[in-house]
Structure 1
Amino acid sequence: MATRQQLEYLSAIERGWMRLYDDLLSQGYRLRARYHPDWIPSWEQAGISLEDIHAQDLTVLKNQLAKFGDSAIDATRVIDGKHVWLKFIHVTSEFNELPILKTVSSDPHRDDPQNHCATLLDVLNIPACGELGACIIVMPMYREWFDPTMHLLGEALDFLDQLLEGLAFMHQLNVTHGDIKSSNIMMDANAMFPDGFNPLVVGCGRHRLSLQDETPRGSRIKIPVKYVYIDFGHGHKFESFATRHKVERTGGYEGLPELNSIWKSRRKQLELFDPFPADVYALGHFIFDFFVRSTPTLIPAIAPLVKKMVARRPSKRPTADQCVRVFRDAASSLSWSLCDRLPPIRLYTWAASSEETRETERRELQDYHDRLAVFLQVTGGHPRLLSQITSRPALSNQQDLHLLASTQPTSSKRSELTEALSTTKASRHSSSSPERSTFLRNIECVKSNLCDGQS
């Protein structure tokens, strides 16, 4: 039975999870303390009134928990203390993603390095859920793909390479996703946050700044991360290549040209479409939205591929396998452009004001210079894709800017490199960001110093 506090402070969705608290605990998963049947709010225990609590923080907390509780919620695996996601799914509906998750999480696919699908850790069959034709699936604790921030083009290309590789892997298994978009792409950041992180920052947008979170142990350059696709509720699984067929649209990605023409014609019936080129289009549009639209000159090498991926006619789009090959051919030709700075991508995920944009730009420019120094160190002065780096030294933040200067046998040239970076870094204190031409001159100085030092 719910306590007075739970009726007052928990949303209706949260109260649904509260009723499952004991059942989940009996199967080895513990929900937050607020869902315990005897929960009493901490502020009431301490005699603190709601007026003494920052209203915005309380609103964000409640909204986030209510939003997640609709279908998924964070929990702790009792046996090892690991944080996981629990997701409520209807196994009797057409949006049942369990067969796909079982396929991609089975041997030998589970440990395949090309597999970038969410991992199914467990399936919980709870009587109360079974009566509704549902079950609860358990997945690792994933984080949004853009948080922490990417700073270098090299980081972005590693991200895109994994997404393309993951799509090709899915399609090789005769599986489609059906709803590729930013919110369905996550990151396994457990190596960056070995002690865990605050799950409430996921999907929180600008409000995440008002929530406490852990500091990452290192960047994507220091610590390899894996990007994954989640939410296969609109996906399809076919037994073989020969049994693939067109399907009806029941939801999912809404921007397909082959479907928009149907709605414009105002036909009542649903026309069939091929879900495989539809996935290619959706991923291409995602890449265009975040890495091409606002910065068309940032990655010119992959622009032709993206254009083909979003071709209006499905027959004109490359297959996922072809996308991987073309992308890697184009990316492998890049070197110093991998050092280019990315704009603050996460600003695209919410309607940032001009003031927010300027402040974020200023703050992230500071981090960029540190990240650039580390990138050049781990690549040995020869910028290349992160996937081509076999090992990455574990560096502390204090070492980042000074390690280059101490590297032998070209310590004098490394010192010049550090000075060049520091010159650019000093501009953080100015009222405006340095012009791109100034940055490029510093990059050329870095390149010259390294090349001279190795001659």
Structure 2
Amino acid sequence: MEKGGVEGAELYWRANYHWFLDRGYQLRPRYSPDWIPSWTGTSKYFEDCEDGIYLRRTQICDAVHVPTGALVVLKRTDKTFYPREAAIMQYLSSEPLASDPRNHCPRLMDVFEPPVYKGHTTQILFMPLLRPFHSPTFDTVGEGIDCFRQLFEGLQFLHEHHIAHRDLNINNFMMEWTNMFPEGFHPQADRRKKDMSGPAPFFTRTQRPTRYIIIDFGMSTQYNPGNLSPREKSLIGGDKTVPEFLKGEEYHDPYKTDIYYVGNLIRTEFMQGHPIITDIPGYKGFDFMKPLIDDMVQDDPSKRPSMDEVVQRFEELVQGLTQWKLGAWAAPRRKYFFRRMRIPIDIASHWKRKMIYILRKIPAIPTAGA
């Protein structure tokens, strides 16, 4: 096979290209049965071409909603293993929940069951295209505050509606992008332009505030309103550091585990830096969060605060911060060689933006929709 061709799990999407198109969703040209690679007969390298970029996660494919032109993602799931995901998302996408500003869940546009493929019965969930919450990097402490607030608010909303997420990690926290990336980006190479011709231009979160979204309800559970402290068997997701799981405890309270997940996400992605992903070096300036985060990630789940308590304590912490602190540069905690070389440029760029924010009276804490 020619290098850069469609193979493996990607073949599923090509096999169903016309089936999706008949229902109003057009996959990228790469998955058309009539596709001829654009680099054929040229000197171009396949990864420099729009249609040469393969799926990073083969169960998720990007597409265009033909009636509206909106960019969407198609998530392929197996109802045998994830029987509750579609129902929970449909519930969260229904009114009046869908219009609640505290609802930070993706809107479910459609649910289809395509023809059986190689003996597998699958379900396809259709949602708006999002991008990783940490890309691009955060510019100010105030931008981080807005992110924390929306994350806490979103999980509090889920718990109020008796839903435990049960897998809230870096891969399941995203953000909307249309404000920050008005020209878009390649769905499978999100730092590049759609046509792969160069870096995708963007605005900072302060310049163009965004909304953060909690995704992936494949492991989630919705409980009866009266069951305030459910007991569940351990279900290990993307975050492998949950103390009650490491201790081998057979049953746990999924609400308390959610609290750990969120606290650990902030601890590793903001306060310390990700232990493996070098693109997430952590940031300076968020030490004021340490008392709250320490309580959220306690080894004893019963000592962790509820989400209502987390939100209350967080707002009290924010009220004690000055405008100067909120507008301060969120400097990377870990500086690799090339990053260190850029520090003078980054500082100068930040101060230029900060002066503009002050002169234009732009709020230090961004607020989407404000």
Task: Determine helix, strand or coil for the equivalent of 2:55.
Answer: helix
**Aligned partner of 2:247 among 252, 261, 265:** 261
Identity %: 30
Measure the CA separation in 2 of the matches of 1:142 and 1:360: 28
Of the two structures, which has the highest relative contact order with CA contacts closer than 8 Å and spacing of 6 or more?
2
Spell out the pairing of 1:41-52 with structure 2 (5 A cutoff). 41-44=37-40, 47-48=41-42, 52=43
Question: Which amino acid in 2 is paired with 1:9?
Answer: G
Equivalent residue, structure 1, for 2:91: 103
Aligned partner of 2:301 in structure 1 is: 314
In 2, Cα distance between equivalents of 1:94 and 1:84? 21
1:9–1:214 distance in 2 versus 1, CA, 3 Å? same
CA separation of 1:369 and 1:243: change in aligned 2, threshold 3 A:
closer
Q: Is 1:154 aligned to residue 142 of structure 2? A: yes
Choose from 242, 260, 269 the match for 1:290. Answer: 269
- Aligned equivalent of 1:67, options 38, 56, 59: 56
Residue 53 of structure 1: aligned partner: 44
Residue identity in the other structure for 2:347: L
Equivalent position of 1:214 in the other structure: 200
Distance 1:367 1:95, change over 3 A: farther
Change (3 A) 1:90 1:82: same
Partner residue, 1:327: 314
Cα offset, 1:174, TM superposition: 0.7
Q: CA separation in 2, counterparts of 1:376 and 1:129?
A: 57
Question: Is the Cα contact below 8 Å between 1:121 and 1:138 reproduced in 2?
Answer: yes
Runs of 5+ consecutive residues of structure 2 not aligned to the other structure: 274-281
Kindly report which structure 2 residues correspond to 1:378-397, keeping only aligned pairs within 5 A, or say none.
378-379=360-361, 384-387=364-367, 391=370
Count of matched residue pairs:
358
For residues 292 and 57 of structure 1, what CA distance do their matches in structure 2 show? 35
Deviations along 1:243-296, one digit per CA (max 9) or x if unpaired, are: 75211123313211111111xxxxxxx701111010101110111112222679
Distance, in Å, in 1 between the alignment partners of 2:341 and 2:127 is: 35
Q: CA deviation at 1:122?
A: 1.3
CA positional deviation for 1:98: 1.3
The residue aligned with 1:437 is none
Match of 1:34 among 30, 34, 37: 30
CA distance in 2, matches of 1:61, 1:145: 25
* Residue of structure 2 equivalent to 1:276: 255
Q: Does 1:163 align with 2:151?
A: yes
What residue identity is the alignment partner of 1:291?
F
SS in 2 for 1:186: strand
TM-score (norm 2): 0.87
What do the CA deviations read for 1:112-155 (whole angstroms, capped 9, x no partner)? 11011122111122223696332111111101112223211011
Distance of aligned partners of 1:30 and 1:55 in 2 relative to their CA distance in 1, 3 Å threshold: closer
Question: Paired residue for 2:123, among 135, 138, 141?
Answer: 135
Higher helix share: 1
Does 2:11 match 1:15? Answer: yes
1:229 matched to 2:229 = no
Give, as a single letter, the amino acid of the residue that structure 1 aligns with 2:152: L
CA shift, 1:65, in A, is 1.8
After TM superposition, the score normalised by the length of structure 1 is 0.72
Distance change in 2, residues 1:8/1:286 (3 Å): closer
Flag the 1:151–1:87 CA change in 2: closer, same or farther, 3 A: same
| Residues 198 and 212 in structure 1, CA contact (< 8 A), matched pair in contact too | no
Letter of the aligned partner of 2:161 in structure 1? L
- TM-superposed deviation, 1:224: 2.1
Deviation at 1:77? 0.7
- Give the deviation of 1:360 after TM superposition: 4.9
Change (3 A) 1:231 1:367: farther
Deviations 1:12-65 (A, max 9, x none): 111111001000000000001111111111122xx21xxx2347647x985x62
Instruction: Indicate conservation of the 8 Å contact 1:285/1:310, yes or no.
Output: yes
Q: Distance in 2 between matches of 1:374 and 1:85?
A: 36
Return 186-195 or 110-119, whichever deviates more.
186-195
AA partner of residue 285 (structure 2):
L
Please state how far the C-alpha of 1:242 moved relative to its aligned partner.
Answer: 2.5
Q: Distance in 2 between matches of 1:375 and 1:107?
A: 37
SS at match of 1:136: strand
Give distance in 2, aligned partners of 1:61 and 1:33: 7
Answer yes or no: is the 8 Å Cα contact 1:291–1:298 preserved in 2: no
SS of alignment partner, residue 128 of structure 1: coil
Q: Is the 8 A contact 1:191 1:223 kept in 2?
A: yes
**How much has 1:332 moved relative to structure 2?**
1.8
- In structure 2, distance between residues paired with 1:90 and 1:211: 36
Structure index of larger Rg: 1
Counterpart secondary structure, 1:9: coil
Find out whether 1:300 has 2:287 as its counterpart: yes
> How far apart, in 2, do the equivalents of 1:244 and 1:151 lie?
39
2:65 aligned residue: 77
Amino acid at match of 1:42: S
**Whole-Å separation in 2 of the counterparts to 1:31 and 1:124:** 15
Q: Is the 8 A contact 1:150 1:156 kept in 2?
A: yes
CA deviation vs aligned residue, 1:150-198 (integer Å, no higher than 9, x gap): 2110111111111011110011111111111112111101122334321
Q: Which runs of 5+ in 1 are unaligned?
A: 263-269, 392-455
Residue 189 (str. 1) matches residue 177 (str. 2) = yes
Find out whether 1:247 has 2:229 as its counterpart: no
